[in-house]
Amino acid sequence: MIRILALAVAALATALPAHAQKKYGPGVSDAEIRIGQTMPYSGPASAYGVIGKSQKAFFDMVNEQGGINGRKINFISLDDGYNPARTVEQTRRLVEQENVLLLFQSLGTPTNSAIHKYVNARKVPHVLIATGASKWADPKNYPWTMGFNPSYQVEARIYAQHILKTAPNAKIAVLYQNDDFGKDYVVGLKSGLGAKASMIVREVSYEVSDPTVDSQVVDLRGSGADVLLTFATPKFAAQAIRKVGDLGWKPTHYLTVVSASVGAVLQPAGLDKATGLITALYLVDPTDPEASKLAGMKAWGEWMQKYNKGADPNDQFHVNAYAAAWLLTEILKACGDDLTRENVMKQAASLKDVQIPVVIPGIRVNTTASDFATFGEMQLGRFDGKRWVPFGELLSGR
């Protein structure tokens, strides 16, 4: 009789649905989910530090509302100073000492490149990282790494499309950061121009250790170019915009979206000098007076007032931070009680037509096990001295 009862219990356990069985990876318990991140709170890219601070504020809101399926987020964000060697050190600490389930939104192309092989060898989810290098969408060779930002090559090809349509005889000058970040943009621009890549008359790079890019801008002006593309991080983008204005140079000026923040870049550069800039947008601009009519931006504004007090509401980096944290929350919710590293990647690679509330309506996230690229479409916007004004249709750079 006892044996029959035992067999019945075993059969019942086997018949229970999989979602009723809790499966936990490192950093997970009934009470918490440990998430790690490296962020440049200091150094040449410190303008991005507000992203990490905002994401902490987002997870504070999630925790106050009950967490993810009852589990609180323990968010550990460490400063790497935008120094790849420091990124390696801090990432090893997060994985080997802090025992995090996953790495989220670690920022920077050169910094993430330094840990790319390590995290994949350790099979640690390295997800929604804050960089748009094309190599983050390579599930065949790096199945544990997924980017968040639109691919830099996708963005650059969109600029190329616009130049070919509006100025087919232009002379193009390019300022780029001399690392994987800047070089990826140059590759995308040339592939987008195709047979007309000879329109590029001058390319000049800078190092993140350079004090300014003033001499580079002077050099580019001397090329006689009437179109300028600035593929730079915020500090150097602001310097370039200011110097172009000081020189009285009037090229059609395209600016990478990662440096398109009104509060963090355009205001320091001088709004008058930034007027006329063109960028490719995927996030709703918080300075747009129409933005508050969108339900997602209304919720963003309420979150800013309650959880991110003192933060600049004109700084688009806070929108960026909110978007990525919102998407990670959705991925973790989808994991249910199977919070293993394998299931995190499975859910991250199964996103279907996801409309993030603060992303431009119509631009949706789609991922599959064979395609980790999150965004394929963007919309051009022109800065009118106060805000980015979107124009034209959504463009695909895939």
Containing domain of residue 327, as a range? 19-150+293-367
| Residues 134, 39 share a domain | yes
Pairwise CA distance, residues 212 & 217, whole Å: 10
| pLDDT tens per residue across span 258-311 | 999 998 899 999 999 999 999 999 999 898 888 888 999 999 999 999 999 999
Q: Are residues 115 and 207 in the same domain?
A: no
pLDDT in tens, 68-103: 999 999 999 999 999 999 999 999 999 999 999 999
Amino acid letter for position 207: E
> What is the band of 324 on the pLDDT scale with cuts at 50, 70, 90?
very high
Statement to judge: residues 314 and 386 lie in one domain: no
Q: pLDDT-derived band of residue 20, with 50, 70 and 90 as boundaries?
A: low
E strand spans, the chain: 23-24, 32-39, 72-79, 102-104, 126-129, 145-147, 172-177, 200-206, 227-231, 252-255, 278-281, 338-339, 377-383, 388-390, 395-396
Is 367:380 a contact under the CB 8 Å cutoff?
A: no
Same domain, 388 and 316: no
What CATH number is given to the structural domain containing 187?
A: 3.40.50.2300
CB atoms within 10 A of CB 357: 16
Q: Are residues 181 and 264 in the same domain?
A: yes
pLDDT in tens, 131-185: 988 899 999 999 999 999 999 999 999 999 999 999 999 999 999 999 989 999 9
Indicate if 267 and 387 belong to the same structural domain.
yes
HEC per residue, 100-124:
CCEEECCECHHHHHHHHHHHHHCCC
Residues 247 and 106 in one domain: no
Is it the case that residue 344 has pLDDT exceeding 70? Answer: yes
Q: What is the pLDDT of residues 225-251, one digit of tens each?
A: 999 999 999 999 999 999 999 999 999
User: Does residue 388 contact residue 288 with C-beta atoms inside 8 Å?
Assistant: yes
Q: Say how far apart CA 309 and CA 306 lie, in whole Å.
A: 6
187 and 114 in a common domain: no
Give residue 32's identity as a one-letter amino acid code: E
Number of domains in the chain: 2
Q: What angle do CA 37, 43, 45 make, to 5 degrees?
A: 70
Amino acid code (one letter) for 389: V
% of the chain exceeding 70 in pLDDT: 94
Burial of 19 (0-12, 13-18, 19+ CB in 10 A): exposed
For residue 73, report the phi and psi dihedrals to the nearest 5 degrees. Answer: -85, 125
Answer yes or no: do 158 and 144 share one domain: no
Query: Does residue 387 fall inside a structural domain?
Result: yes
Q: Tokens 């918080």 map to which residue?
A: 286
Output the pLDDT for position 291. Answer: 86
On whether residue 184 sits in a domain, the answer given is yes
